Structure formats: structure tokens, C-alpha cells
Structure 1
């Protein structure tokens, strides 16, 4: 009998894509998708089980399916934008409800996995937001770098708690291979996240005096990294442990704005915080304190373990992932081509002026 893979969070676009991809994997006989509502997109040949991981019924699902691999993707990024249409009223979903899904849901799932003798592999989709963003952070953060300022709230704080519970599970079930994938911000043509909502604004508010470095992961690469974590390791690789996952290279926030063709409005930090609260109140984007810190200090992670231990080499760089996202969201108020030509003309003119004055 082949392997049985259970995937949580399949009502989200990325969870559905991963469920479809695992059906093509050699040795996988059955893929079971779990979510609180039926997905609006196709799961291919995967079975769908409507269940809430916050409730004890998830243990019954594990027992009945006899899943040997569990891929946990049911972590909500925010009250806005991270949930599929029809799953919840995103504008009305409280922070308490999001936290309950993330933390209580994960605890219930881990408890069910601990009692399920068939489970042999657990993959958890986490985030590089667990490192926080602080002014004195190292230029590049590794998986073992201690955080100087742990996230104080929101999805990032939930992810820190979730990872702590996963480490506890790994100690209690040493026979289970546990893989935690800390993704940089996932972008693509269908991405829906708080950062994607920020980049979709017609004008981008920024913090005066700061131009943070950012990393991204293409949604295709995110699916492939999850697949590697869920499959038997190839020779010379190991898919248990904690891994940063990001495309090669970095982009400055100003470069992102130019590629989108969107003007920026530099604001003092208190003004940006007020603007973020106003945008969040209008339901335009989830401008959380964690996102404001990211847009102030940025975050860059080391991906050596991803390449050398997990054996994963992303097909898209950070710039390429952002480029596809930008193409999918159309030109902004300042068409990128025209903006680039203007910047080039200004750059070419400045040296000539310098030579003329000398």
C-alpha cells in the first residue's frame, strides 16, 4: 500500500495547489484535504473532508484515513486577505478567531498526530516572521540566530507559539520526522496576503529615512519546498529540521515600488502607524505593527541549510518572484518602463552636470 498524505488548509489557494501536486508524486496513493469549508478551487483527485482542526474531530479523521504524512498549512496570516472567499467574513474575523485557528488548531492537530501510530512525517508551513524585525538584527539571519525582539502580536507571534508546540511534539514522538519550513513572503500571480495587499495600494506609504531589504518566494517554489519536506529524502539530503526558504537575492522596498510603478509617500513612523490603523479600519489592508516593523527594518535570512541539507534550489529568485507578482497586478500610477527610462536619463545627466561645473 502506498502513502497517505493529509493536508490541512486546502481551502486556501496554496493549500489546494499543494494537494494537487502531491497526487503526482510517486508512491503516494491517497491525498486527503481538510478544511472547515469546501474549497472553491479544484483539488484534482484528492479527497476532501470537511473538518475543523480546532475540534477533537481531527483525531477521528487521522484515525480513519490512516495518514502517514501530515502537512499543516492551516495557519491564517491575518484577519484580512489570508482566507479564501466564502471561508469567513474576512473583514469581520476577529484577531481572537485567527489566533484560535492558528494556536488551538495546531495544538489539536499535534495531539491527534501524537496519538496516531500511523503518522511518520509532519511538515509545518511557518514563516520567517518568527525572527521579528529590529534595528540591531544581524544583516543575515540563520535558523539558529536568537531574535533580539520577538514578535509581540499578530500572526508572527502565533507562528512562534506554533513552532514551540511542534518542538514539544518532536520530543514526544522522536519516531516522527518533523520538518518546519520558514517561508519568506510568498508571492505570485494568485497570492493573497497582507503584504500583497500593501503592494496593491495605489500609493505606498513608507517610513521616512528607511529603505528595508526584503525577500520573497515564488508560489511554485513554495509548493516544491513543501513537496520535498513531505517526501522521503533523497540521497545526501535530510528533510527533517527547520529551514529558511527564500529566493536568491534581495530587493529594496524602493526597488519594489519602482517595479510596480507605484509612487511612495515617506511618512514619519507615528504618521505611518496612524495611516496603517486607518487602512486596516477601512478593510483595505492588514497594516499590523509587525508589518510596519518589516517595512522599517526589513529582514534577510540565510538559505544555506535549504540548499545544502534540504536539497532545495528555488527556480525563481526574489526579483523574479516579485516580477511575476508585479505583472499580475498591472502597471501602477507610474508605468515601470517609463519610470525606469526617466531614472536612467536622470542618472546619465548628473555626471555631465558635474563635469560641466568642474
Structure 2
């Protein structure tokens, strides 16, 4: 069992929000250390997370009983993360690790090597799915059926040039963009924190309930906001929104599939222009952590607008919200506008 690092008692009075601000404002060397800075008193669970969606869960559920740090600095595209030797080594100092296998191959390897007993892969806390074998084409004869409600035909297509290591056996790892699946993961994280730190189990249970209620409210807002729209099709640069599309009966069409850096082929661009005309699509969405060059080129050629649909992989000063829920609410507003919500 790892010995917990000691945290200043005064820090225990700080809010979770202040903790997030402090983490985001830390120096590059502090963030790169992963497991956090030197602490000398108090007693909180040392938690290392892989990137923002995992960090958010750990902070919201752990509250004042955890010291959370993340391997992915704000503004860094998570898929591109490479760990330093020091980061990889310090993973082994954590009391608890929370990551999502299939997003960051370098992290997957380092976590496996760290051998921390209380290590949780968020992908094991819900069901991962495949959203198509190639861009723009669903699996032949495949029907998407989720836990509650019909889903869009061809929703959330994958990528024939899929990012290496992206999901298990070609599955889509972007589970946090479906509030229902994210809530399932939150429950699992809460239970695992209770097991790792039984002295504070009641607090983790209370915080988990509060977070799940917030995510349930977000789910209801998406259901209501997207129930009646002029079109059900949206175009993105990064095929990150397959779970969201399934959940709310939409069809995602992406320029370049699961890898945010992939370039669309001329044939794919031509196909998307035809889809946009057929389905009355007026907007091409791009994201905050990746260049908007391709989206603007495709939009200009097709007489379309561009807007941001944020995959919430990191919070920066360009994010349209201070945390996961606020950014997702901004995403809902953008989708309502682009799809012609009534």
C-alpha cells in the first residue's frame, strides 16, 4: 500500500473550484510532474488523472479529501500527449490513478508500468461501442440502440484511418460526451474511491450523488433542446460525438474520423457537401484544441458557417465554460442553433 503524501491542513478549507483554478494556473514544470508538488502536512488521497474528463470526476467526487493532478496540461491535445521519464516515474507515487484507456497510448503504457493497486480505467465502468468502420458509412445492417430512446441512423461514424490505440478493438473511447454514460462512470469512480479510502466513504458517496444529479439535469436539457429540430445531421472535424449523437437521435458526419489531426480526402469533402445540401446542414463544427483551418476551408467551399463544438478534452481560456457541465451547455446551445431547434 502506498503511503499518502501529506497536504497542508490549511488547504483542506479550499473549495474544489479553487483547487481546479490552482491546478490550471500551475507552472509547466508543476503540471509536468503529474503527481503534484511537495506537501508536508495533512492527509489527502494523492490522485493522478490522465486528462480533463477524468480530472473533473476526481475533483467533484473527491472534494476536499483528495489531491488531484493531471498528466495533460490545459491546452494540450490529449491524443498527442507524450510523457517525460519523470512523469512516468511519479505515477508510481500516486495512491490512486484514474485514466481512460484508448485515448492516450503513452499514458496506457505508463499506467501499466506504474503498478499502483488502486488504478481505475474509466472504460471498464460503462460499455464502449463502435460507431462505424469508416467515415461516412455505418456498419452494414447495424442498428444503434441505446438505453433510452431511438438513435440516429449512421450516428457517430468511426474512422478507417483511426488513431492508433484509439479504443479497444476499434471502439470509440469518447464516453464522457454522453452525459448518461459519464454518469455511469461517475458512479464507478465514486465506488472505487470509497474502496481506496474507506474513512471518507460517506463523503465520496454524497459527492457522487450530487454530480450524478447534475449530469442527469444535463441529459434532460439535451433531450428537451434537441427533441424537435429542422435537421438531425451535424458535421464535425473530429468524430468525437458518436455517443452524443446516439443518445439524442442525431447523425454525426465527420471530416476526418476519430483522430483529430487526420485530413479528409477530396472524396470525403465532396460527399460532405452533398450531405450538407441534402440534410440542410448549415454549419461545420471545429474544436478548441485543434486547428480550424480544414473546417473553414470546407465551410467556405460549401457556403457554410463554422462554430465550436467542444469535445471537452481540456479547459482553457478559450473554452466556453469553466467546467465540463458549462462547456456541454454551450455545446447544446451551438447544436440547437445549427440544427434549427424549435
TM-score by length of 1: 0.36
Larger radius of gyration: 1
**Greater strand percent: which structure?**
1
